[in-house]
Amino acid sequence: MSSIKRTTVKEALTCEVAMEQIEIQGWVRTRRDSKAFAFLEINDGSSLASIQVVADAGIPGYERIKEMSTGASVVVQGQLVESPGKQKWELQAQRLSLLGVAPDSYPLQKKGHSPEFLRSILHLRPRTNLFGAIFRTRSRMAAAVHDFFNSRDFIWVHTPIITGSDCEGAGEMFHVTTMDPLKEHGDYEKDFFGKSAQLTVSGQLEAECFACALGNVYTFGPTFRAENSNTTRHASEFWMIEPEMAFCNLEGDMDVAEDFIKHLVNTMLADESGDMEFFGKFVDKGLRARLEHVSQSRFIRCSYTEAIEIMQKSAVNFEYPPIWGMDLQTEHERFLTEKHFKTPVIVYNYPKDIKPFYMRLNDDGKTVTAMDVLVPGIGEIIGGSQREERLDVLEDNMRCSGLNMEDYSWYTDLRRFGTVPHAGFGLGFERLLMFVTGVQNIRDVLPFPRTPRNCG
Ligand code: 4AD
Ligand code: MG
């Protein structure tokens, strides 16, 4: 028994020479019985593909074969042999053990459930082909994020999840409190931190402290927004990657953003696990062509003012007619990237009144050094800017935004002591995942999505 090698289905299916005496552990996807033997498809999540097991009647454990139904957990020992079917190998079983049965009430009996139904069984949906592929891809993409920054000597900073500052200034924050909302309210003095505390909407301000010490840094962590928008692109809890670079201007910021997206897209294109192919077949037929196009094209850079002019001159009937000074809506973003330029676009220099206090004021006094990266199928995937490094201008912006200067004295200190030009951006990790998989709803790339009135 000791010579039996435990392997994953992935290892077994991709090995070069037949492995003798292996053991796999997984869940039954399907079983077909004939008189003298049974076929079992076993999946253990290590790959999209399941392994076919051939079990002859009479081997140890076969007496419980009828209970090895879809969803049951099993251990199979046996020998890899060449398969006459599509796969290179199949497993000729020598011993079967049933670990856990899955009675008829198992909700994933048949294939082809709708994403809506699967959202009602979040705890089981990773067992489907689609969600297995999505969450393996999520893990691979997270590794690719770290690879990109590691290869450029960026330092990963763990910025806090509980914070006292509203980075985006939009007031869309969840409160963190130990007070009972039904009995006590209002007096933060008595609360856990002795002041009001929130879940972070962005690690940027803290990342700036570290950039102004360590040079190039990035954050990668959970982010929370209490915006009441029930769309397919907004979640209340999502993950964001925020690089912050000292001695960097808007152009340098755009260069890193473009390289970063291309690195992630190229990682996806190079995927040989079968997951990318699966998305191309069953989720979005145009996926590979679109990603290849993004990988090869130079991102168009277009000022906000030019973008407004382009849309005003176009014959399109927008729901919100474009006017200088307004924030771009998804319909505008998608027009620019999908219809007009047909390539990713970086829109920069937005009106200062629609952007947060920390962005650097341009010489025109009207616009700030903001930049948003827009991609086909999604719209905004990245938002960033060069930061205001001049103390007096920053303080003016903060006053205009109604911020309490004392609360942010640590932030303004960065400008008081050795200030430097610096810039950064935030990439929404789930928007990226939607982009590289073709999945249309943000709820389907989050393991346990949280959206307004939904925290299952
Ligand atoms: O444009 P945003 O709000 O920018 C910031 O938070 C800056 N502090 C980033 C920085 O400069 N360091 O958000 C950045 C990105 C968006 O482009 C989008 O991809 C994603 O975060 N995002 C969301 N993703 C899912 N659900 C939401 N509710 C999101 N809000 C923003
Ligand atoms: Mg934004």
pLDDT of residue 170: 75
**Residue type at position 167:** C
Question: 11-20, 68-77, 343-352: which range is least confident on average?
Answer: 11-20
Which of residues 283 and 183 earns the better pLDDT score? 283
Q: Are residues 85 and 175 in the same domain?
A: no
- 48-62 pLDDT, tens digit each: 999 999 999 999 999
Q: Is residue 64 part of a domain?
A: yes
CB burial class (10 A; 0-12, 13-18, 19+) of residue 329? middle
Q: Are residues 70 and 153 in the same domain?
A: no
Q: For residues 51 and 10, what is the distance between their CA atoms, to the nearest angstrom? A: 9
The residue among 145, 85, 80, 136 whose CA lies nearest residue 273 is 136
Q: Does the pLDDT value for residue 380 go beyond 80?
A: yes
Q: Are residues 26 and 171 in the same domain?
A: no
Regarding the beta carbon of 384 and ligand 1, being less than 6 Å apart is answered: yes
Q: Are residues 433 and 320 in the same domain?
A: yes
DSSP string, 405-431: GGGGHHHHHHHHSS---EEEEEEEHHH
Tally of domains within the chain: 2
Residues whose CB falls within 8 Å of the CB of residue 157, separated by 6 or more in sequence, listed in order: 203, 206, 207, 210, 214, 217, 218, 219
Residues 100 and 68: beta-carbon distance below 8 Å: no
The residues placing their C-beta within 5 Å of ligand 2, an ion, are: 383
- 169-195 pLDDT, tens digit each: 777 999 999 998 778 767 888 899 999
Residue 368, beta-bridge partner list: 350, 361
Closest ligand (CA of 219): 1
Atom from ligand 1 closest to the CA of residue 225 = 28
Residues whose CB falls within 8 Å of the CB of residue 229, separated by 6 or more in sequence, listed in order: 452
pLDDT of residue 229: 86
Percentage with pLDDT > 70 across the chain: 99
Q: Is residue 319 part of a domain?
A: yes
- Average pLDDT (228-240) is 94
Residues 38 and 65: beta-carbon distance below 8 Å: yes
State the pLDDT confidence band at 318, using cuts at 50, 70 and 90.
very high
Strand 422-428 and strand 300-303: the pairing is unpaired
- 327-347 pLDDT, tens digit each: 999 999 999 999 999 999 999
Nearest CA to ligand 1 atom 28: 234
End-to-end alpha-carbon separation of the chain, Å?
A: 44
Q: Phi and psi dihedrals of 260, rounded to 5? A: -65, -50
Phi-psi region of 283 (alpha: psi -120 to 50; beta: other; left: phi over 0): alpha
Residues whose CB falls within 8 Å of the CB of residue 318, separated by 6 or more in sequence, listed in order: 311, 329, 331, 332, 335
Query: Domain span at residue 300?
Result: 125-444
pLDDT of residue 12: 95
Q: For residues 370 and 385, what is the distance between their CA atoms, to the nearest angstrom? A: 4
State the pLDDT confidence band at 309, using cuts at 50, 70 and 90.
very high
- 237-274 pLDDT, tens digit each: 999 999 999 999 999 999 999 999 999 999 999 999 99
Q: Does the pLDDT value for residue 1 go beyond 60?
A: no
Atom from ligand 1 closest to the CA of residue 380 = 17
Q: Are residues 262 and 401 in the same domain?
A: yes
Regarding the beta carbon of 383 and ligand 1, being less than 6 Å apart is answered: yes
Residues 366 and 402: beta-carbon distance below 8 Å: no
Q: For residues 138 and 447, what is the distance between their CA atoms, to the nearest angstrom? A: 10
Q: For residues 393 and 154, what is the distance between their CA atoms, to the nearest angstrom? A: 29
Q: Does the pLDDT value for residue 440 go beyond 90?
A: yes
Q: Is residue 111 part of a domain?
A: no
Q: Which of 85, 100, 115 is the last residue of a domain?
A: 100
Q: Residue 275 sits in a domain of what CATH number?
A: 3.30.930.10
Percentage with pLDDT > 90 across the chain: 89
Residues 140 and 267: beta-carbon distance below 8 Å: yes
pLDDT of residue 253: 98
pLDDT of residue 356: 96
Regarding the beta carbon of 350 and ligand 1, being less than 6 Å apart is answered: no
pLDDT of residue 168: 81
- Average pLDDT (20-47) is 96
Q: Is residue 294 part of a domain?
A: yes
Nearest CA to ligand 1 atom 23: 428
pLDDT of residue 119: 96
Q: Does the pLDDT value for residue 144 go beyond 80?
A: yes
Residue 397, beta-bridge partner list: none
Residues 302 and 346: beta-carbon distance below 8 Å: yes
Q: For residues 442 and 432, what is the distance between their CA atoms, to the nearest angstrom? A: 10
Nearest CA to ligand 1 atom 19: 428
Nearest CA to ligand 1 atom 4: 383
Q: Residue 93 sits in a domain of what CATH number?
A: 2.40.50.140
Regarding the beta carbon of 382 and ligand 1, being less than 6 Å apart is answered: yes
Q: Are residues 247 and 392 in the same domain?
A: yes
Q: How far is the CA of 58 from the centre of ligand 1 (A)?
A: 59
Q: Considering the chain, what is the average pLDDT of its residues? A: 95
Q: Are residues 324 and 208 in the same domain?
A: yes
Distances (CA, A) of 449 to 233, 265, 418: 12, 24, 42
Q: Is residue 283 part of a domain?
A: yes
State the pLDDT confidence band at 2, using cuts at 50, 70 and 90.
low
Q: For residues 291 and 376, what is the distance between their CA atoms, to the nearest angstrom? A: 10
- Average pLDDT (122-131) is 97
Regarding the beta carbon of 380 and ligand 1, being less than 6 Å apart is answered: yes
Q: Are residues 52 and 150 in the same domain?
A: no
Q: Are residues 62 and 148 in the same domain?
A: no
Candidate of 240, 425, 429 to mutate for ligand 1, largest count of ligand atoms within 8 Å of Cβ:
240
Q: Are residues 160 and 257 in the same domain?
A: yes
State the pLDDT confidence band at 365, using cuts at 50, 70 and 90.
very high
How far from chain centre, in Å, is Cα 432?
A: 6
Q: For residues 31 and 13, what is the distance between their CA atoms, to the nearest angstrom? A: 19
Nearest CA to ligand 1 atom 6: 202
Q: Are residues 130 and 92 in the same domain?
A: no
Strand 22-33 and strand 367-375: the pairing is unpaired
Nearest CA to ligand 1 atom 7: 426
Regarding the beta carbon of 243 and ligand 1, being less than 6 Å apart is answered: no
Phi-psi region of 71 (alpha: psi -120 to 50; beta: other; left: phi over 0): left
Q: Which of 65, 100, 135 is the last residue of a domain?
A: 100
Q: Which two tokens stand for residue 385?
A: 């800017």
- Average pLDDT (427-442) is 98
Q: Are residues 65 and 145 in the same domain?
A: no
- Average pLDDT (116-139) is 97
Q: How far is the CA of 427 from the centre of ligand 2 (A)?
A: 9
Regarding the beta carbon of 430 and ligand 1, being less than 6 Å apart is answered: yes
Q: Is residue 16 part of a domain?
A: yes
pLDDT of residue 164: 87
Residues 166 and 173: beta-carbon distance below 8 Å: yes
Closest ligand (CA of 244): 1
Residues 367 and 304: beta-carbon distance below 8 Å: yes
pLDDT of residue 295: 97
